[in-house]
Amino acid sequence: MRWDELEEEPCSMARTIGVIGDRWTLLILRECFLRTRRFEGFQSALGITRHLLAERLKKLVRQGVLRRIPYQESPKRHEYILTQKGLDLYPIMMAIVHWGDTHMVDERGRPLLHQHRKCGKNFDPVMVCSECGEPLSAKEVHTHPGPGARTTPAIKAPEKPKAKARRSAA
């Protein structure tokens, strides 16, 4: 399975990973949600090499996660803002932050707090069932093939390698 194949996999997780599943992309997205919009902003916030940054931004634009919008004409300059598709990544980001808040903080506590404008309180994100509203955990969920399934989800048929492997090459 190579990376360009990932987006063809019959698995929503594999496809998503094909889009955002690398370290710099995730970090770039974090910056987007913290309102960074410009090349230099990303670069200095992250310390990513300019080369990779340019490449990742291009990829995110191609995939419709970011939109590249001109903000001045003279020397043409653009900024990168989240599309709706990009904004929809928010639950992923929050879930990641929350896991870190739970399992990776040091003595000093959380680096960042999140306040919900609607209720005014600092909160944690909780994932619930869209149908009954109850919080979800892995054990309460049963997974089964949907219309887009191919075989057993994402598990290849066990190809037999017919190697006689007894060669001493040297």
Cα–Cα distance for residue pair 18/42, rounded to 1 Å: 21
**Residue of the chain from 34, 64, 77, 100 that contacts DNA (CB under 7 A):** 77
The site that binds a copy of itself (CB under 8 A) totals a number of residues, namely: 95
Report how far apart, in Å, the C-alpha atoms of 153 and of each of 20, 39, 94 are.
21, 39, 26
CB of 122 to a copy of itself, least distance (A): 8
Q: Which residue has the tokens 């997780």?
A: 13
Q: Using alpha carbons, select from 123, 146, 145, 126 the residue that is nearest to residue 136.
A: 126
Q: Which of these segments, 36-44, 92-100, 103-111, 128-136, binds DNA (CB under 7 A)?
A: 36-44
Question: Does 3 participate in binding DNA (rule CB under 7 A)?
Answer: yes
Question: Does 4 participate in binding a copy of itself (rule CB under 8 A)?
Answer: no
Report how far apart, in Å, the C-alpha atoms of 88 and of each of 14, 16, 85, 121, 130 are.
17, 12, 5, 22, 16
Question: Does 13 participate in binding a copy of itself (rule CB under 8 A)?
Answer: yes
Residues 36-75: x/- map of binding to a copy of itself (CB under 8 A)?
A: --------xxxxx---------------x-----------
| Tokens coding 165 | 């492997």
Residues 6+ apart with CB under 8 A from 13: 154
Question: Does 104 participate in binding DNA (rule CB under 7 A)?
Answer: no
- Tell me which residues touch DNA (CB under 7 A): 2-3, 22, 24, 38-41, 48-52, 54-55, 57, 74-75, 77-79, 163-169
